[in-house]
Structure 1
Amino acid sequence: MTLKKSSGLALASATAALALFPLTAFAASSTPVLMASTKLASAGQSVTYTVEDPSATASTEYQFWVETPAGQWMVSQNYSASNHLTLNNVKAGTYEVVAYALNQSEVQARDWSMAMPTTPDSLYVNASVSLNVTSTTSSSGSVTATVTVNAVNIGNAVYQLWWKTPTGNWHASGNYQSSNTFTLPLTENGSYQFVAFAKPPAAVSSYVGALASSAKTISVSAPAAMVMLSPAVSSLHTSSGGLDPVMVTVLNAKGEQVMNFNGSVTVTDTEGLLMNASGKPVSSITVPIQNGMGQVQVMAGSTAGTDQLMASGLTAATGSETAQSVTYQPTWVTMRDYGGNISQLNTIAPVASTVDSTNGDQNPYGLTFDSFKGSSTAPNPYYGDLLVSNFSNKAGSNGDGTTIEAINPTTGAVKTFASTADGPVALAVSPKGPLWIANFGSNGTNGNDEVLAPNGTTFKNGGSIITNSNLDGPWGQVFVQNATYPAFLVTNALNGTIDAMYGFAPPNFNTDTKFLEIGSGLAHSGTTANNVQGPQGMVYDPTTHMVYVTDTADNSIRAFYWNGPNTPNQGQGQLIYQGGALNAPVGITLDPLNGDLLVVNQGNNNLVEIDLNNGNAFVAGQKVLDNTPVNPTTGAGSALFGVYAMDNNGQLNVFFTDDNTNTLDVLK
């Protein structure tokens, strides 16, 4: 029996009766499936088909229909118990194969309407699909791609095109079409990938039934036509040590960033305040451009005025392109006389020794202010003192210190507040009085959080020591206000996470405290108290309700928030500032006069003032707090860790710990 194919209708006619039955009769769980030994074959090859039938019984029989390359449908194997069909000596072109399953009694009754069909399977013999892509650019800069698809040995082929944009999104041309030419606009710069599909009209309209071409990639690059300079703040305070990062952006004629432009450009300024790689001021810098962007930093000048920045000499690397004419947009940075608050401070004075008088503990780290007044009947004897943790013992073994010192910031009087800590790093005082201590210990794995009563004593029955699997090298700590769920946040320097501790109440902090991870993936390295790097200092800003966290491992400051038990894990948080003046930043506090962040660096013993500037943070000032050089390899000479700023009758006082001298000092 043969049927002459007409526009692919023969197969549709042969199976039209199936549409009369409910779809549930052909549910995937009971439908037979046709499996081929290959989809691509060479002329003369044999190809075997097998019906996999989950509903088969001993009386099930199968019939195979084949459409030949000439377009004829024929019964290649009539109903029998065999579920196999072999096509021998196949010819160049395309075949469509479909099988029907029917019970023997239904075959004998010639009840063809009960036949269960397989999905047609396409066989391609000596067939191939290829494509050619050309692009044209109009005078306005718009780019159009023309794709031509060539199908070999696929009769009456229909075509579909897929392409991936530079941003990684795949798009399709729509339904299969008879035309083998596609035209589409390319609106993004970067690499486009194209794949074409071709098939006979009767084949299944998916990648299963069609034959695909190899992928072809073209790169679209609108030529660079403009260089724009964009300062973060456009103004600096004179003699403050401040820096203004200026973004250098390469644009096309439409004003869009050329994302795949690589090369360099020269930036000059009128005042010679561009910072070179050595941190020195120069008047000209060659700025590398990667992916259409670069950066240069302007240093604060010593006199008031305006510094004009200009770009020139845009040079393209191999694979990038510039327009015949490139426009360069200048910009300006103003130098103002009034400096940042720390630039007005010129005196550093020791307040007191931090060495514990009872056991010789040393190496001051954590620093906080005891803000708990107590009550009229039970006043807090340490109210108004600065509390300092000693990280090392008398022998200088890091992580083996046990003492907390209470120091009067005015008189310098010192008392031992507690001696039960275990490698204490960060300190934070609860509004209700208890002191929370992040104990790193000697190697972090035995670290814990310790809670002491306002008078420095422990809570009964082990209630002071909080241990939890979430604590992994506790290093930074801060209290966060919340009307329903106040919390202490802790950084874990050994795994780069931040946890919130909440739900606590005296005296059973050890059993009541709950943990929730709200930050993860922060940069960290090292495994012991001698080499650990990672998230460290923390400060809470009640104005923005954000917690700012320093990280020595990548020289960054990041922001996190706490909204109670439903607070999500914020990953690495919001990046506030990175690199530049930050060099192993550790302690962090708020300037009470203007809200700036004050950060101390372990890498160069500097105090850095960061103006948040509504999301465009910049360095507002820098001060050297200890002139000892710091060895960049061993860290020898590094002095700073803890910092706390106070408003002293309208004057800024910045207190800091110096472990080169084992003192609490003040910048004022």
Structure 2
Amino acid sequence: MTAVVLVGGALTTAYASPWSHKGDSSSGYQSAGYYQSNQSWMQQNVVTGTTTTTSLSSTVPSNGDVNPYGVATVPMNMGYLYKGDVLVSNYNNKANTLGTGSTIVEINPTTHKTRLFSWLTNSRMPSACPGGIGLTDGLVVLRNGWVIVASLPASDGTYATAKSGCLIVLNSWGKAVSVITGHGINGPWAMTAVDHGSSVQIFVANILNGWSSSSVGQQVNKGTVVRLDLWTSQRYWNLVGVHTVASGLPEMWSKDNFVQGVTGLAVWGSNLFISDSLSNRIAVVHWATTRWSSGGLGFTLAEGGLLQQPLGIVILPRSAVILIVNGNNGNLIAVSQTGRVVLVKALDTTAMAGSMPGAGTLFDLAASSNGQWAYYVDDSSNTLGAVGPLRG
């Protein structure tokens, strides 16, 4: 069961897309030439003649945690981390209570072998995380062996007990060694990293800004993305700078769907790509790796059409193609750096009463190091799946 009862993206007057969607399957018009052009582009840049999907493993550990959210691939061998493995964080406990999941599992995509990488409890934390532990889709693995996971906890699974949360830093053996609070971290929901070894930048989407009990069910345009600049080695890490690079992003709380906001982040070059779920768009903030001030809402790269509540996002390392999973259906979407939007494949077609097939099943995804496979979590079956081979 997903933590979000998914609804259509709520477009606001703040977002005007420059991109035409006349060729999207959701519109009333689709020319043969447009369709052929998109198919040709996808065959050249995204899929191969043998691209398919496969289920790799259950994501449910021994303590029964469910609702897999975060996905990250391991870039090196160190401690309990093995290059090419996939880490998955769980957001719910075995009772399916939102915001109480505390485990990260490690899955070998070749052998399908699964092991518990870390089980975080309050007694095992080096210091307190405001509100406790509820692991979101903010999950990264750094080349120097550090794993950073975001926590947005809610002890009873509702907005009433949700707290600001934190970032939890674990070593390569799965032990929590540090907790990052403050610095603009308030409801960390999504995360990505630019990793140069000793120099690392962590981008964190925060979705609890400006919220109060009187705003339940109302969109609040105060979400942010902050950049944390780190220095790291295999033994130490140090936070050396913090900057807000995006602001004014929509977030919403509801008694039914808990919380919604920016759910995916990815960086290509100096540009930050934002999966703005509530506004049904992919935004880009230029110079995000070097800017010292906010880029606001960013610029709209793609909006509406095939994008149906975009959630997780990843960029293939060779082609620079942006892959996105939808929340309102089970589709995988590809977006070019110039805003071309193409349906790649339906990853989940589970029938959902009153919704499109696959609605509420997908959340986050990550790419293999060579970009030939994309790994995605399926919340309805609590599994890790893979789609590929891809062009990369």
> Hey, what's the Cα distance between the residues in 2 that align with 1:423 and 1:530?
16
How do 1:310-325 residues align onto structure 2 when only pairs under 5 Å count?
none
Q: 1:580 to 1:430 in 2, by over 3 A?
A: same
Question: What displacement does 1:611 show?
Answer: 1.2
Shift of 1:658: 0.4
Counterpart in 1 of 2:105? 405
Question: Could you tell me which amino acid in structure 2 is paired with residue 384 of structure 1?
Answer: G
- Residue of structure 1 equivalent to 2:68: 364
Q: What amino acid is the match of 1:441?
A: P
Question: Aligned AA for 1:453?
Answer: N
Shift of 1:579: 1.2
**Identical aligned pairs, as a percentage?**
29
Q: Which structure has the higher relative contact order (CA within 8 Å, separation 6+)?
A: 2
Once residues 409 and 592 of structure 1 are traced to their aligned partners in structure 2, the CA distance between those partners, rounded to angstroms, is: 19
Q: For structure 2, which runs of at least 5 residues remain unmatched after alignment?
A: 1-17, 122-132, 210-222
Q: CA deviation at 1:364?
A: 0.6
1:641 corresponds to which residue?
A: 363
3-state DSSP of counterpart to 1:522:
strand
For the structure 1 residues 420 and 504, does the alpha-carbon distance in structure 2 shift closer, same or farther, using more than 3 Å as the test? farther
Secondary structure of 1:404's aligned partner: strand
Deviation at 1:587, TM superposition (A): 0.7
Contact 2:331 2:348 in 1 (8 A): yes
> 1:387 corresponds to which letter in structure 2?
L
Corresponding residue to 1:445 among 160, 163, 169: 163
What residue is the counterpart of 2:201 in the other structure? 487
Equivalent residue, structure 1, for 2:373: 653
Residue in structure 1 matching 2:242, options 510, 515, 518: 515
Tell me, which stretches of 5 or more residues in structure 1 are unaligned? 1-230, 233-243, 247-273, 284-296, 302-332
Q: TM-score, normalised by structure 2?
A: 0.76
- Which residue in 2 is equivalent to 1:457? 175
Residue identity matched to 1:433: G
In the TM superposition, 1:449-598 aligns within 5 A as 449-459=167-177, 464-468=178-182, 470-481=184-195, 486-495=200-209, 496-503=223-230, 512=239, 514-526=241-253, 530-541=257-268, 544-560=269-285, 561-564=287-290, 567-598=292-323
Tell me if 1:662 matches 2:386.
no
Q: Deviations over 1:302-353 (max 9, x none)?
A: xxxxxxxxxxxxxxxxxxxxxxxxxxxxxxx797487252474552211010
Question: Is the Cα–Cα contact under 8 Å of residues 349 and 358 in structure 2 kept in the other structure?
Answer: no
2:84 matched residue in structure 1: 384
Give the C-alpha shift of residue 592 in structure 1: 3.3
Q: What is the DSSP-based 3-state SS (H/G/I as helix, E as strand, rest coil) of the residue aligned with 2:176?
A: coil
Matches within 5 A, 1:196-275: 245=21
Letter in 1 for 2:165: G
Rounded to whole Å, the distance in 1 between the matches of 2:280 and 2:172 is: 35
Aligned pair 1:619/2:341, yes or no?
A: yes
Give how far 1:527 is off: 6.0
CA distance in 1, matches of 2:134, 2:357: 19
- For the structure 1 residues 485 and 602, does the alpha-carbon distance in structure 2 shift closer, same or farther, using more than 3 Å as the test? same
For 1:527 and 1:337, how far apart are their aligned partners in 2?
40
Q: 1:475 to 1:337 in 2, by over 3 A?
A: closer
Q: Which amino acid aligns with 2:366?
A: Y
SS class of match (1:488):
strand
Mark the CA change 1:298 to 1:370 in structure 2 (over 3 Å): closer, same or farther: same
Distance 1:338 1:518, change over 3 A: closer
Deviation at 1:513, TM superposition (A): 6.1
Provide Cα deviations, 1:492-527, integer angstroms capped at 9, x if missing partner.
122310111224558887x95643212100122116
CA distance in 1, matches of 2:255, 2:195: 32
Using the alignment, how far apart are the partners of 1:342 and 1:567 within structure 2?
38
Are 1:599 and 1:608, in contact at CA under 8 Å, matched by a contact in 2? yes
Higher Cα Rg, which structure: 1
Looking at structure 2, the residues matched to 594 and 563 of structure 1 have their Cα atoms a distance apart, in angstroms, of 21
- The answer to whether the aligner puts 1:349 opposite 2:36 as a matched pair is no
Question: Conserved in 2, the CA contact under 8 Å of 1:403 and 1:420?
Answer: yes
Shift of 1:387: 0.2
> TM-score of the superposition, structure 1-length normalised?
0.46
**1:153-232 equivalent positions in 2, closer than 5 A:** none
Between the aligned partners of 2:298 and 2:21, the Cα distance in structure 1 is 21
Question: Number of residues paired by the alignment?
Answer: 337
How far does residue 417 in structure 1 lie from its aligned partner after superposition? 0.6
Partner of 1:435: 147
Q: Which AA in structure 1 matches 2:134?
A: G
Residue type of the partner of 2:376?
F
SS of 1:535's equivalent in the other structure is coil
Q: Is 1:342–1:609's contact at 8 Å kept on the other side of the alignment?
A: no
Which residue in 2 is equivalent to 1:300?
35
Aligned residues: CA RMSD? 3.3
**Alignment partner, residue 350 of structure 2:** 628
Q: Which one-letter code corresponds to 1:428 in the other structure?
A: V
Match runs of 1:91-102 below 5 Å: none
Is the 1:281–1:299 Cα contact (8 Å) retained in structure 2? no
Cα distance change on mapping 1:335 and 1:527 into 2, 3 Å = closer
Give distance in 1, aligned partners of 2:53 and 2:333: 15
Give the superposition deviation at 1:280. Answer: 5.3
Between the aligned partners of 2:336 and 2:188, the Cα distance in structure 1 is: 28
- Compute the displacement of 1:644 (Å): 1.6
Q: Deviations over 1:153-174 (max 9, x none)?
A: xxxxxxxxxxxxxxxxxxxxxx
Contact 2:89 2:105 (8 Å CA) reproduced:
yes
CA distance in 1, matches of 2:85, 2:145: 13
- Once residues 634 and 534 of structure 1 are traced to their aligned partners in structure 2, the CA distance between those partners, rounded to angstroms, is 21
* Conserved 8 A contact 2:205-2:224: yes
